[in-house]
């Protein structure tokens, strides 16, 4: 499993979707379930953080655009 911090946003989103799909399709073993759900939650937090920081960065950058 790739480490979360090494993933980029899109990879993280893809992985979340994959996990959700796994859950839905019952392909996942019960033992794996909590591991994958934990992973998905971490990924979601990661995506949220990333989105938040991106949003802040862009808002800052756009502010500069308006000041220019």
Which residues would be at the binding site for other proteins (CB under 8 A)? 9, 13, 16-17, 19-20, 23-24, 26, 28, 30, 33, 37, 40-41, 44, 47-48, 51, 54-55, 58, 62, 65
CB atoms within 10 A of CB 60: 9
Q: Which residues of 28-59 are buried (b: 16+ CB within 10 A; e: fewer)?
A: beeeeeeebeebbeebeebbeeeeeeeeeeee
CB of 23 to other proteins, least distance (A): 4
CB of 3 to other proteins, least distance (A): 20
CB of 15 to other proteins, least distance (A): 10
């Amino acid at each position: 499993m790739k480490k979360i911090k090494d993933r980029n946003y899109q990879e993280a989103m893809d992985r979340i979707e994959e996990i959700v799909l796994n859950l839905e399709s019952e392909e996942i073993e019960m033992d794996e379930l909590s591991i994958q759900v934990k992973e998905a939650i971490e990924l979601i937090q990661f995506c949220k953080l990333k989105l938040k920081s991106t949003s802040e960065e862009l808002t800052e950058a756009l502010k500069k655009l308006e000041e220019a």
